[in-house]
Amino acid sequence: MAQQAKQPQSREALLKSYNKRLKDDVKSILDNFMEIVKLGLVEDESQVSRMTQVEEIHFQMQVRSANMVRAAESLMKLVADVKQYLILNDFPSVNEAITQNSQIFKVKSQEADQKLMTLRDDMASDLYELEEEFYSSVYKEK
Amino acid sequence: MADIRLEVPAENSVLEVLYDGSELHQQPPSMSEHLTQLARKIDFATDGEEIKEEKKEEEEEEEKQPFQQPHWPLEEVRNKIRQALTEVSVLHDLLAVVKPKPPQYMVLDPVQADPPEPKAYIQFLSLKKSLQAAGTILLNGAERLRTSQAEMGRPGRVVGQDFHIELLRLRQNWRLKKVGSTILGDLSYRSAGSMYRHSGIFEVSKADDGPGGPGILSIGSGGASPVAPQLGPRAIQSSLRVTVPTELTGSAYIFVCIKKDEEDICSAQLTSSDFVSGETHWQQKLEKAQNVLFCKELFSQLAREAVKLTPSIPHLVVGNQITATIFPGIHLLVGLCHSDGKNGQKGGSGVLVPGNSGTGGVVVGGNNHGSTTNMAPTSVMAGASMAGAPGVGLGGLGPSKYKHEHDLEHSLHQLLHRVYHHSFQHPLPHPVYAYMGMSKRRRAAGPEGMDKTQLVNMMKEQTLLEQIIRQVQHNFLRLRTMYVIDQLAAEFKDPLIVSHWNAFNSPTRSCVKINIATQGYDSVLRTKLVIHISERSLKCICRDGKIMTMSFEPQELRNLILCQISQHNMAALQCLARYTGWTVLSSEQNVGTGAIEPLGNASTVMLASPSGNKVIGVHSGPHQRVSVMVSSSPRPDFYPSTVVSGQRWENLGASWQEVRHDRMEGRNFLNKMELLMAALTA
Amino acid sequence: MSSPMDRLQTLDNIEKDIATVLQSAGHALSELSKDKPANKQVEGHVNQFRQTLTNVETELAKQINYLTQVSTGQAHEGSSYNSQKTLQMAMHRLDHARTRVNELDTIKTKYIQLLQQHQLQKQQQGMQQQQPSSQS
């Protein structure tokens, strides 16, 4: 019972985590992009010298764009996770898959049995005639 | 004129309302408080004159009421001035230290002036470069993402289709669930109604391009499963890999065979010719593993029942084989044949040498109720072979010696499957508020008035082993009956034995119709019988209504048919006589005179010719065939004597003369009789 | 819409869109970094970036929303193994029937061959008999 109570909790937690990841990643991409664009403003030097400032801006831009790429890849992973989760846990489709499969298998096995029955009937009639032929003749091997 | 009162609204706000309705007002600020507030509003930066004035006032106030408040109203002012004083004195000290011309303790260095601001163009350029760098990083990342995505969708790649699509297909057919970070699946039949303990969990993982990648190898010869689509000989590797538990790898089947009594009761080496490579498609792997699980469950169920049941001859469970006795001298051998497929065709786990199987052997009971002599020797032999007979190379009998019965294996599978089915399917309750699962017969027990023994019998169910033993018994009996009938048919040409087997039968009952007719004289008479074959007995129903029950011994059936043949001959002769105009003088089906027949009874018929002067007498027995005697009416050797004087007494029949009908012409007995009759009439 | 293949397709599209997001952002920045930045293009790229990003977010949120409505924590307790087993047994029956019929077929061919041989022998004997009789 504790596990059942835990299960929906962990499921809720999982889905919440997906949502959170989505929001975080999208926010990260957007923010980083905004920051990069903001850094592109030409402004007066503040406290450090020119070269340092330049280097710092360069580095910051690199880091921010790398951040964006990371966030995008994390989004891809999220999509893959969602796909997997969807495949495994989507109850209506699992249900439907099971019923569909059962139906198909049942139909197929019935068909196979049907064919066997017709075969059996044919063979039975042939057998009757063959038996007549065989047993009515005097030439039989022991 | 009304009085108008003027009341100044309360200037002081209400702090608290007491319980008796009186209000506590906030006291108006006292003089010193008010002064403090004003002092705080003073801005010392603007004008210094006001400070001085106020300072005087404050000092006066302060002297008046020095103890009323802990802090002066001008405390802050004083603090600020003191701080300024401190700083100025510090500066003064510093200057004093620095002042001596030859530097003694401290030197002041001038600070360079800032360089003039260069043009912002360099920054602009650098910004552009950084932007470009950032842009390239982003584009590279995008490229990477795109290529990785495109690779997934390209068909014909070695790793095959998308992992997710494969996973979807896997889930379509199998039960999957996710535990932690791994995907596990369940291939046991528990969801279908089985009670077996094995969990049957398999693991699904992504397949890397492992060492087996480029080598295109053929899928194992297990053949395409009916469920999965057919895969061509060019194996498309999938991006899923499935790991089945080690005890379920390979493939297995249940080996069933019937064998006659031999010296070694329990030794056979069962090998399986099914080859499961490591690279087979997951669908086939899973199906085979499921099959292995099913076979294991089936075998364990049978073994358990074999140990639990106590028939008169105990069943034998040795390692992976169960030996049960069907008829005395005939044994049923059921074995589990499981090959791991690691080293190709590894021998199945059925290698037993009677002497060495001390651990696995279980001889049930030792209840030798030994009622017949047949049974005792076999169980004694079992005991001896278990006890420690030297393991004389008896382990090498291959399966070719034992013919595997596919239909019996199939029956076993069906029986277990039926068990699963029944564990889930319950008949609906009638009426709706009754108990679930009451069968129709049980429902009718009340109205039918069944007593306790009947109810108990109804509730008893037969175990799997009992059911399969019944089926095997019936199977064997049917084959034996066929054999007996065919042998008799080949032996006897005189009346022909025609047997027609019924096309509708159940696993435990069959039916055969036998016609006995003489060739050429089918219209005269056909003797018909129906034989119902059940598990251990035969029931024969003749056309005239006689019912005979026989045991499983083949001799009894043979005797029966021989009797029927002889009676057929007699009956046919009578019918023939009707056609030819001869009169039947007497006919006895079971004569009580003459020599005793070893089996059955002899029968006789006496026929008189139409003119009455010839009489034929036929005596037929199942054992000693037919004897025909003829007598003609006017005695050739009649001489009137003193006792018998009249001439008419010569008309009494003469002595009987035997006809050697085996030297006569004629195809069969009836033909010969017909010719005889014709000859005698003429 | 609710077929799992459709959903997987939508998720694939989302993946493509993510790549597009990065790509348009990269294009925008490279456009800006050129000597003569074409403002319109930059505008266009940035718009595309923003649009695709919002698209990605809404779609993915939709999918996750669907999942919250529809998914369970527990695995499904049923399976199609029952009917699968029935089908396998039916196939087994068919195979068995096929092997038996094949056996009959081989017996038949064997006997036909025997018969032909026998007839051939008879013919030869007949011819041999004819020849001596014609000779004599």
Residue pair B293/B226 in contact (Cβ under 8 Å)? The answer is no
Report whether pLDDT(A69) > 60: yes
Give me the sheet containing B330-339, strands edge to edge.
B251-260, B330-339, B321-327, B316-318, B361-363
Domain-terminating residue out of B550, B567, B584: B567
- Please state, as a whole number, how many other Cβ atoms lie within 10 Å of the Cβ of residue A20: 10
Q: What's the confidence (pLDDT) of residue A6?
A: 57
The whole-number pLDDT of residue B378 equals: 30
- State the DSSP string of B613-648: SEEEEEEEETTTEEEEEEEESS-TT----SSS--GG
Please, what sign has the CA dihedral across residues B517, B522, B527, B531? Answer: positive
Looking at the structure, tell me whether residues B551 and B577 fall in a common domain.
no
Query: What's the first-to-final CA gap in chain B, in angstroms?
Result: 175
Average pLDDT, chain B: 76
pLDDT value at B393 more than 70: no
Per the prediction, chain C carries an average pLDDT of 88
CB contact under 8 A, A112 and C8: no
pLDDT tens for residues B604-662? Answer: 999 998 888 889 999 988 886 788 888 887 787 777 788 887 878 877 767 888 888 88
* Residue B532 backbone dihedrals phi, psi, to 5 degrees: -100, 125
Assign B193 a pLDDT band (cuts: 50, 70, 90). confident
pLDDT single digits (tens) C35-75: 787 889 889 999 999 999 999 899 989 988 888 888 777 77
Give backbone dihedrals phi and psi of B346, rounded to 5 degrees, phi first: -80, 145
Reduced 3-state DSSP string for B317-379 = EECCEEEEEEECCEEEEEEEEEECCCCCCCECCCCCCCCCCCCCEEECCCCCCCCCCCHHHHH
What is the C-alpha separation between B200 and C120, in angstroms, rounded?
63
Check: CB of residue B148 under 8 Å from CB of residue C15: no
* List of chains touching B (3+ CB pairs within 8 A): A, C
Answer whether residue B53 shows pLDDT above 70: no
Same domain, B259 and B366: yes
Token pair for B55: 């300072």
Q: Which residues contact B62 (CB under 8 A, 6 or more apart)?
A: B72, B73, B74
pLDDT in tens, C18-33: 888 888 988 888 888 8
Using the predicted structure, report yes or no on whether residue B475 has a pLDDT greater than 60. yes
Burial class (CB in 10 A: 0-12, 13-18, 19+), B71: exposed
- pLDDT at site A117: 94
Question: How many other CB atoms are there within 10 angstroms of residue B148's CB atom?
Answer: 13
Name chain C contacts of B176, Cβ cutoff 8 Å.
75
Co-location of A99 and A38 in the same domain = no
Query: Do residue A14 and residue A77 come from a single domain?
Result: yes
Is the link from the previous residue into B622 a cis peptide, with omega within 30 of 0?
no
Q: What is the ipTM of this complex?
A: 0.83
Could you tell me how far CA B274 lies from the centroid of its own chain? 19
Query: Hey, what are B355's tokens?
Result: 């002497």
Question: For chain B, how many structural domains are there in total?
Answer: 5
Residues A65 and A32 in one domain: yes
**Is B305 inside any structural domain?**
yes
Cβ–Cβ contact C134 with B under 8 A? no
Residues A49 and A115 occupy one common structural domain: no
The distance of Cα B86 from the centroid of its chain, to the nearest Å, equals 97
Q: How many distinct structural domains can be found in chain A?
A: 2
With beta carbons under 8 A apart, name residues in chain B contacting A36.
131, 134
| Residue B147 binned pLDDT confidence (cut-offs 50, 70, 90) | confident
Q: Does B141 contact A132 at a Cβ distance shorter than 8 Å?
A: no
* CATH code of the domain occupying C4-70: 1.10.287
Task: Say if B155 falls within a structural domain.
Answer: no
Q: Do A83 and A37 belong together in one domain?
A: yes
For residue A52, pLDDT over 90 is answered with no
Report whether pLDDT(B73) > 60: yes
Handedness of CA A116, A117, A118, A123 (dihedral sign): positive
The yes-or-no verdict on residue B354 having pLDDT over 50 is: no
Single pTM value for the model: 0.71
C124 to chain A nearest CA, in Å? 24
| Neighboring chain B residues of A58 at a CB cutoff of 8 Å | 126, 129-130, 133
Residues A85 and A96 in one domain: no
Both A5 and A55 in one domain: the answer is yes
Q: Which helix (H) or strand (E) holds B31?
A: helix B31-41
DSSP assignment of B376-389, as one string? HHHHHHHHHHHHT-
- For residue B103, being part of any structural domain is answered with no
User: Bigger pLDDT: B403 or A92?
Assistant: A92
Report whether B536 contacts B509 (CB < 8 A).
no
In angstroms, how far apart are the furthest CA atoms of chain B? 205
B333 plus B436 within the same structural domain: no
Per residue in A73-94, pLDDT (tens digit) is 898 888 888 888 888 888 888 8
State the pLDDT at residue B526: 92
Round to whole Å and give the CA distance between B666 and A72: 104
A121 pLDDT more than 90: yes
Are both A7 and A46 inside the same structural domain?
yes
Residues B489 and B595 in one domain: no
Based on the fold, state whether residues A3 and A15 are members of the same structural domain.
Answer: yes
pLDDT at residue number B217:
28
CA distance A21 to chain B (A): 17
- How buried is B6 (Cβ within 10 angstroms: 0-12 exposed, 13-18 middle, 19+ buried)? exposed
| End residue of a domain, out of A73, A89, A105 | A89
Lowest-confidence region among B30-34, B183-187, B215-219, B258-262: B215-219
Reported confidence tier of residue B236, pLDDT bands at 50, 70, 90: low
**Do B379 and B240 belong together in one domain?**
yes
| B425 and B480 both lie in a single domain | no
Domain boundary pick from A44, A61, A89: A89
Q: Across residues B44-52, what is the average pLDDT?
A: 58
- Give Cα B346 to chain centroid, integer Å: 24
Same domain assignment for residues A75 and A99: no
**Residues 6+ positions from A71 with CB-CB distance below 8 Å:** A24, A25, A26, A28, A29, A32
Structure confidence at residue B177 (pLDDT): 78
B427–chain A nearest CA distance, Å: 20
Tell me the average pLDDT across B167-187.
83
Q: Which domain holds residue B67?
A: 30-44+52-93
pLDDT in tens, B301-350: 888 888 888 777 778 888 888 888 888 888 888 888 888 765 433 233 33
Per-residue CA distances from B377 to B258, B303, B318, B328, C37 (Å): 19, 23, 19, 10, 106
How far is A116 from C100, CA to CA, in rounded Å? 13
Cα(B654)–Cα(B629) distance, rounded to whole angstroms? 11
Whether the per-residue pLDDT at B289 is higher than 50: the answer is yes
Nearest CA in chain B to C28: B135
Instruction: Indicate whether C120 pLDDT > 70.
Output: yes
Nearest Cα neighbor of B546 from B584, B589, B485, B586 is B589
Residues A50 and A73 in one domain: yes
Residue B185 lies in a domain: yes
Q: Specify the pLDDT at position B161.
A: 61
Q: Identify the domain containing residue A82 by its residue range.
A: 1-89
Q: What pLDDT is attached to residue B402?
A: 67
State the amino acid at position B311 in one-letter form. P
Inter-chain CB pairs, A–C, below 8 Å? 128
Pair (B486, B339) in one structural domain? no
Bridge partners (DSSP) listed for residue C123: none
Determine the pLDDT at residue B478: 93
Radius of gyration of chain B (CA): 57
Same domain, A29 and A73: yes
Q: In this structure, is residue B116 part of a structural domain?
A: no
Positive or negative CA dihedral for B391, B393, B394, B399?
positive
Mutate to test the interface with C, among A69, A83, A108, A139 (most CBs of C within 10 A): A83
Residue B112's beta-bridge partner residues? none
Q: Note the pLDDT of residue C109.
A: 96
pLDDT, residue B436, reads 79
pLDDT band per the 50, 70, 90 thresholds, residue B52: low
Residue B141, number of CB atoms within 10 A of its CB: 23
Spatial CA neighbour of C49 closest among C74, C70, C32, C69: C32
